[in-house]
Amino acid sequence: MSGGLIALLDDVAALARVTAASVDDIGAAAGRASMKAAGVVVDDTAVTPQYVQDVSPARELPIIWRITKGSFRNKLIFILPVILLLSQFAPWLLTPILMLGGSYLCFEGAEKIWSKLSGHGAKTKTPVVEKGKDAEDTMVGGAVRTDLILSAEIMVISLNEVAGEPLLSRAAILVVVAIGITVLVYGVVALIIRMDDFGLHLAERSSPTTQKIGHGLVKGMPGLLTVISVVGTAAMLWVGGHIILVGLDELGWHAPYEAVHHLEVLVHDAVPGGLGAALAWLTNTFFSAVLGLAWGAVLVLVWELLPFGKGEHEAEHAAHGAHEAQGEQHGKHSAAAAPGESGGAPAGPSDPTPPADGGSTAAR
């Protein structure tokens, strides 16, 4: 009896060790997969705060929580089952899908740069001012739809890193990635949008040092958002370009990948130690970003030449022109009314003779 109990305990201990090793493996694989999706994660973090601009501070965190729940649904209910089925029954589709996603990242990054250089203005969603539940629902719906695109990229990139794992391991790893990245992104977003409130709270303290910290947080908020946006754009070009680089190699066009890899090896061998490895990584990152920018620029050019892309810009220009014309007309009316308002005579030639019918000139 005691021998059977000891054998049972040995089996339980062995099972615990295997389980712990599996958990460690899942955690390590989830970490590797999450790192590959870093560019999309940064972009997701940069995009989300715009949805709570001009919103009552009391509603900021509840809105972020609603968007977070939508992000969990996107990743775990809609995206995860689809990509797991694809990886199991049609794995050859993953590379083209991944390249489509990489092309989207390159397009977004290049379009942001083009909008900045051309002065057209980035195509960002206009924040919905807090006007009740309908406005909030509209805002949350737009944020969740944007998250669906970015979450699909995160999950497909992560899946590509663990495609060789068994199905259950893949599912467990992607669940960890989905939960971890969602908590990270929207946790950081919550901290960002409340940073200025926290700064104002510190600025009201009696301590001069605390007040300086508070004022610094408030003043640093716009700069932080700008830095996040720039880093997000660079990360999109880098990650998207690297996806295209590897995808082209897997589809049979080896020259671009081999050229970048050759330069990476040269840099690594030229500089010894950890610095050489870091510089080699930077070399790969730089040329991936260059490829991403070139690839995205071609897509932006094609988009600009397409009827719906051109029509979108024409509509924007027409709206802008109408707004300027309205402003000029309002200015002329104001200038014409100004002398009368100040007690002077009207701007035009005056006729002291009243109308014959006794009515006003304006009425005629």
| Per-residue pLDDT tens over the stretch 223-273 | 887 887 788 788 889 888 998 999 999 999 999 999 999 999 999 999 888
- Helix H, strand E, coil C: the string for the chain is CHHHHHHHHHHHHHHHHHHHHHHHHHHHHHHHHHHHCHHHHHHHHHHHHHHHCCCCHHHHHHHHHHHHHHHHHHHHHHHHHHHHHHHHHCHHHHHHHHHHHHHHHHHHHHHHHHHHHHCCCCCCCCCCCCCCHHHHHHHHHHHHHHHHHHHHHHHHHHHHHCCCCCHHHHHHHHHHHHHHHHHHHHHHHHHHHCHHHHHHHHHCCCCHHHHHHHHHHHHHHHHHHHHHHHHHHHHHHHHHHHHHHHHHHHCCCCHHHHHHHHHHHHHHHHCCHHHHHHHHHHHHHHHHHHHHHHHHHHHHHHHHHCHHHHHHHHHHHHHHHHHHHHHHHHHHHHHHHHHHHCCCCCCCCCCCCCCCCCCCCCCC
Q: Is residue 6 in a domain?
A: no
- Interatomic CA distance for residues 142 and 148, integer angstroms: 10
pLDDT of residue 364: 36
Q: Is residue 7 in a domain?
A: no
Q: Does residue 198 surpass a pLDDT of 70?
A: yes
Q: Does residue 24 surpass a pLDDT of 70?
A: no
Domain count across the chain:
1
pLDDT of residue 330: 47
Q: Is residue 362 in a domain?
A: no
| Per-residue pLDDT tens over the stretch 136-148 | 888 888 888 878 8
Vertex 113: Cα angle to 110 and 118 (nearest 5): 120
- Interatomic CA distance for residues 356 and 5, integer angstroms: 120
Q: Burial of 173 by CB count in 10 Å (0-12 exposed, 13-18 middle, 19+ buried)?
A: buried
Q: Is residue 216 in a domain?
A: yes
- Interatomic CA distance for residues 252 and 20, integer angstroms: 40
Q: Is residue 294 in a domain?
A: yes
| Per-residue pLDDT tens over the stretch 94-120 | 889 889 888 988 998 899 899 888 876
Confidence class for position 316, pLDDT limits 50, 70, 90: low
- Asked if 145 contacts 67 with a C-beta cutoff of 8 angstroms, the reply is no
Q: Give the residue-averaged pLDDT of 206-221.
A: 89
- Residue listed under structure tokens 């932080």: 224
Q: Give the residue-averaged pLDDT of 198-208.
A: 88
Q: Is residue 224 in a domain?
A: yes
- Asked if 25 contacts 33 with a C-beta cutoff of 8 angstroms, the reply is no
Q: Does residue 179 surpass a pLDDT of 80?
A: yes
For residue 243, give its domain range: 17-323
Q: Is residue 234 in a domain?
A: yes
Closest CA to 180 of 32, 49, 64, 51: 32
Average pLDDT, the chain: 76
Structure-token pair, residue 327: 């402003």
- Interatomic CA distance for residues 165 and 26, integer angstroms: 10
pTM of the model: 0.66
Q: Is residue 339 in a domain?
A: no
- Tell which wins on pLDDT, 134 or 358: 134
Residue 94's identity, in one-letter code, is L
Q: Does residue 351 surpass a pLDDT of 50?
A: no
Q: Does residue 362 surpass a pLDDT of 70?
A: no
- Tell which wins on pLDDT, 209 or 309: 209
